[in-house]
Structure 1
């Protein structure tokens, strides 16, 4: 998921440089949403941790 966020971030940067404002804005919004989702899932898995087998 983090790789998708980085991919959309790169697409947003390239589109912004080339002047495609709508595409850049959309790609940046998707990248931000995926990164926030990644952080939430990472923190959830970090808090719950790995349970030892019984």
Structure 2
């Protein structure tokens, strides 16, 4: 493996890592929205069936 190939492979790895971090943030925000919606439904007295659909 040449130095250029090694550098390119390292950059691809770092790019994949950075993308992974972004995806985790998006997933975490979505989970927070679901939890908030669930809490609101519980506070409003919605039944468990409707809450499970979230």
Alignment TM-score, normalising by the size of structure 2:
0.54
- Tell whether 2:23 aligns with 1:32: no
Deviation at 1:34, TM superposition (A): 0.2
Deviation at 1:25, TM superposition (A): 0.8
- C-alpha distance in 2 between matches for 1:33 and 1:49: 25
Structure 1's unaligned 5+ residue stretches are 1-18
Structure 2's unaligned 5+ residue stretches are 42-54
SS at match of 1:49: helix
Higher alpha-carbon Rg: 2
Structure 1 segments of 4 or more deviating over 2 A? Answer: none
Alignment TM-score, normalising by the size of structure 1:
0.54
Q: Which structure is higher in RCO with an 8 Å CA cutoff and minimum separation 6?
A: 1
* CA RMSD after TM alignment: 1.8
Deviation at 1:49, TM superposition (A): 1.5
